[in-house]
Amino acid sequence: MIWKEFNGRGGFMKIRSDFVTNSSSVSYLVTFNPEMAEFGKLVKFNNFKDDAKNRRIYDLLSQDLSSTGDLLEKNGNAIYVKQYDFSKKPDSTFDSSFGVPIDEVDFSSLGDDEVWSYIHGEYLVNGRLAAELKGFGSLQVPRDKKALALKHEAVCKRKLVAGDLP
């Protein structure tokens, strides 16, 4: 609920009295099947011969997942899984962040942290991972289940009071 209070300078300020959360904090489970990823890399991308951007993204993700992810097996398929937690604003870069068309950005000259920031923004937040790299997938999950439950309850209460729930 938002209510107004006189601020002492001839005006009012808004004060939020219900649940407030930092919505920029996110978590994603990222999956990686090495066999499908290698197949996609060879068939779809010709080993990223002329694609420094996807080569860097593929290398960083596959190396990180295979070395620090949890290895699962499902129906004879090796699947690595890892949860990535980050804040959208400071930890994410998007195509529009570079100031030039993305195909003009030299990804081979970017540091690993810059490429990770781009992965966070375009491939996780914007959901491009599975569509652009075979053998990889992502799923957004709650970073803090208790905070999500409280936020859900607050939203439902607001909608109930406003008559927006059946």
Res 51: pLDDT: 85
Convert 25-91 into a string of H (helix), E (strand) and C (coil): EEEEEEEECHHHHHHHHHHHHHHHCCCHHHHHHHHHHHHHHHHHCEEEEECCEEEEEEEEEEEHHHH
Is residue 156, in this structure, part of any structural domain at all?
no
Name residue 165's amino acid. Answer: L
Is residue 11, in this structure, part of any structural domain at all?
no
Is residue 99, in this structure, part of any structural domain at all?
yes
What does the mean pLDDT of the chain come to?
A: 83
Res 150: pLDDT: 77
**Mean pLDDT throughout 104-124?**
96
Res 4: pLDDT: 41
Is residue 157, in this structure, part of any structural domain at all?
no
Summarised one tens digit per residue, pLDDT across range 30-58 is 999 999 999 988 887 777 788 889 999 99
**Mean pLDDT throughout 79-99?**
93
Looking at the 3D structure of the chain, how many domains does it have? 1
Is residue 137, in this structure, part of any structural domain at all?
yes
Res 166: pLDDT: 66
Res 17: pLDDT: 43
Q: Which residue segment(s) compose the domain that 50 sits in?
A: 22-141
Res 36: pLDDT: 93
Is residue 60, in this structure, part of any structural domain at all?
yes
Is residue 102, in this structure, part of any structural domain at all?
yes
Is residue 16, in this structure, part of any structural domain at all?
no
pLDDT for 159 beyond 50 = yes
